[in-house]
Amino acid sequence: MQNLTDKALLEETENLVREERQILGVILRHLREIERRRLFSALGYSSLFTYCVGRLRFSEDEACRRISAMRLHRELPEVEEIQVSLTNLSRAESVFRREKFSREKKITILRELENKSVREGEKILARYAPRPPKPDRVRAVAEGALEVRFQASHELREKIEILKGLLAHKHPNIPLGELFEKLCDLGIEEWDPGKPPKRAARTHESPAAEQVAEQGDATKIPPVAQQVKAQPLPPPNPPAAPRVNARRLVWQKARNRCENCHSRYALEIDHRIPRAQGGSNTPENLRLLCRSCNQRAAIQAFGLRKMEKHLERRS
């Protein structure tokens, strides 16, 4: 390289930048197709983001920028003809998700961003959207301790003060971290599908009282009705959805994690052999998958063409 002339060095650098942009476009198209097929689930990843970080070795920021740009390419194919930096594309996609713009307006904004620096792009986007709220943040501050930051409303602050007041006798001046942990425990106890439901307390009567009640009820039933009541009922049709007990067993067996990628996010009961192909609702035919892995399983069972419309609605 040291032997290159000044002119040759400049020309070669410009050619490499053009190639880099072309390669980036190809990478974004590949990522779009991987997401369309949910192929990351076949490799045990819960999302395209975790695939980009874990398999492709992008940093989290690099993965976010590429995925945002890819989704903008998917929505607006015209983007490929506009020279916008990856950072500006990612930030524009974030603005378009928050604000309601027409397709034409989005393209107009992207043309304004063409060949602009990051700082120039910030100024352009600031004209069209207010400053976004700061994202949630979790960082380690000491061994075994985390700092959690998020923006909250005044209403939430009032609710926190009410809760602290209710707990003041048992837990005076409870720190927010402990209060939040107690709320999480209550939420898990209430909403965990793997936990058995709480049974209402039954009132017990004496055997004599129960016998009198049964006899009293029997005397009120006409003879014909008693005959009908005595006849065995026909077996019910198999339910369309798994029974609660079967669903609970699946959740417990999977320990509240996707059985493919081990994610805890958006978990769903899936039939190993689909109902449409004769699968049953027995626990042996049920499994717990996250939404992405469930979608990938549906693609494998029914084909991408048949499932694509359903996937678009849930993306």
Helix (H) or strand (E) holding 139: strand 137-142
Give the Cα separation of 148 and 272 in Å (integer). 39
pLDDT value, residue 304 = 93
Coil, strand or helix at 86: helix
pLDDT value, residue 209 = 47
Give the Cα separation of 28 and 21 in Å (integer). 11
pLDDT value, residue 129 = 83
Give the Cα separation of 266 and 186 in Å (integer). 19
Is it true that domain 244-314 has CATH number 1.10.30.50?
A: yes
Helix (H) or strand (E) holding 204: none
Helices (H), ranges, the chain: 6-37, 39-42, 48-54, 60-75, 86-98, 103-112, 118-128, 154-166, 176-191, 207-220, 223-230, 244-254, 291-302, 304-314
Of the candidates 54, 53, 50, the residue with the CA atom closest to the CA atom of residue 263: 50
Give the Cα separation of 67 and 24 in Å (integer). 12
Q: Is the pTM of this model over 0.95?
A: no
pLDDT value, residue 218 = 46
Give 10-residue mean pLDDT values along the chain (315 residues). Answer: 90 92 92 96 96 96 95 92 93 92 95 95 90 80 89 90 87 91 91 77 51 48 47 54 86 94 93 94 94 94 89 63
pLDDT value, residue 21 = 85
pLDDT value, residue 148 = 92
Longest CA–CA separation in the chain, Å: 111
pLDDT value, residue 153 = 87
Of the candidates 156, 155, 136, the residue with the CA atom closest to the CA atom of residue 146: 136
pLDDT value, residue 302 = 94
